[in-house]
Amino acid sequence: MFGFILKRLLQAIPVLLITSLLIFVGMRLSPGDPATMLAGNDATAETIAAVRSRLGLDESYATQYVKWLGALLMGDLGRSMVSGLPVSRIMGERIAPTLELAFGGLLASLVLGGLLGTLAGLRPDSLFDRLISAVAALGLAAPMFWTGMLLVAVFGVSLKWLPPAGRVPFSQGVGGALASLAMPVATLAIANAPVIMRFLRDSIQETRRAEYVRAAHAKGLSRTVVARDYIVRNSLIPTVTASGILLGNLIGGAALVEIVFSWPGMGSLLVSAMGNRDYSVIQAVLLIAVFGFVFANLVVDLLYGLLNPRIRHAQH
């Protein structure tokens, strides 16, 4: 197992290197730069050139990339070109909120989607199945910012049950933290649970037709045992795949949800850094996002092994 994990992590290195190059070049080719943003509305060409030089943006792309990569390998993410703060500090402030939201969103999506998907899958073509499918389609179709604004209007402004925006760290109290997390997580769950639900429902319906399930019923096992041990467990692999993709996305930052709820995660950081052309921050956020995907895929591969012994043996 350790060898498998190490191998997968080593495989991530070229992925990260290629991605870093693409991110770097992509940013430099996009219009505008931090010098233009810093110099102000009345800046002359000379002033902008002076700022560009101070930020090292007048050097060749190759030199800039090598310098950045060299510092990165030494663990130095550099400084924000706009605020001057160390990028590591900025990222440090954002990682906990991002992970809270990502895992909270994933957990809520899995619980909601898993529960509904299982029930719908075990009762195909029933009224419940049709109703849930229709509701799921609605959840999928509703834009996240709309859902978020609706929740804010109802639970934040009208009922005043939950704070309309902002994050309270768990260090300041569990009640406040859960209250601040509730609506962003619910928004993510409403959008993502239908995906989990559909994967699981379809997979369960397919598994129900398998011969070994019929054999289990023929052996006289109870419906609950067959459902739990024969159908649901064997139907989980597509759901795990979907969950991995979802987790990767969420670690990269659920920008819209973060903005609607003023959640200080990496998604909203990325949006503001893009606006200011803050290259060093953008590069760091995107690299973390890519790493998040690699990590999520690794977790998915490990879960495959746990769910299906044949895959576990193949990994070894």
Partner 1 sequence: MFNKPALKGAIALAAFACVAWPHMASAQNSAQVPAKGSANEAATELVLAQGADPLGFNPTRFSAPNTSYLHQLYDTLVEIGPDGQPRPSLAESWERSADGLSVTFKLRPAKFHSGRPLTAQDVVYSVRYHLDPANAANLLARLSAVKDVEALDDRTVKLTLSSLAPGLYDLLSALFILDEKAVVNMAQQDAGSGPFIMKSWTPGVSYTMERFADHWSNDRTKPDRITVRIVPDDAAGAALLQTRAVDVLYTAGPLALAQLKDAAGTKIERIKRAPRSHYLALNTSRAPLDNKLVRQAISHAINRDMIASVVYNDFAAPSCQPWAESHWAYAPAVDKLCGYDLEKAKALMKESGVGPFTMTVNTSTDSYAPGSVDTAQILKEDLAALGITLNIATYEPAKARELILGANFDMLLHNYIEGGNDPQFIIPSAIYGPTKGRTKFTSPAFEALVEKAGKTLDLNERKAIYADISKLIADEAFMLPFAHEFRPIPMIDAVKNFEMDGSGFSQLQQVDVTR
Considering only residues 68 to 97 of the shown chain, the ones binding partner 1 according to CB under 8 A are 79-80, 82-85, 89-90, 93-94
Interface region with partner 1, contact rule CB under 8 A, candidates 131-139, 176-184, 199-207, 245-253: 176-184
Among residues 308, 239, 309, 305, which one has the least CA distance to residue 4?
305
User: Is residue 127 at the binding interface for partner 1, with CB under 8 A as the rule?
Assistant: no
Query: Which of 11, 172 has the CB closer to partner 1?
Result: 172
Contacts (CB under 8 A) with partner 1, residues 252-291: 259-262, 264-265, 268-269, 271-272, 275-277
Closest approach of partner 1 to the CB of residue 55, in Å:
10
Query: Which of 140, 274 has the CB closer to partner 1?
Result: 274
Contacts (CB under 8 A) with partner 1, residues 134-163: 149, 152-153, 156-157, 160-163
Query: Which of 23, 302 has the CB closer to partner 1?
Result: 23
Closest approach of partner 1 to the CB of residue 32, in Å:
3
| Residue 139, helix vs strand vs coil | helix
Please pick, from the candidates 12, 23, 38, 251, the single residue that binds partner 1 as defined by CB under 8 A: 38
Closest approach of partner 1 to the CB of residue 44, in Å:
6
User: Is residue 41 at the binding interface for partner 1, with CB under 8 A as the rule?
Assistant: yes
Please pick, from the candidates 173, 212, 214, 306, the single residue that binds partner 1 as defined by CB under 8 A: 173
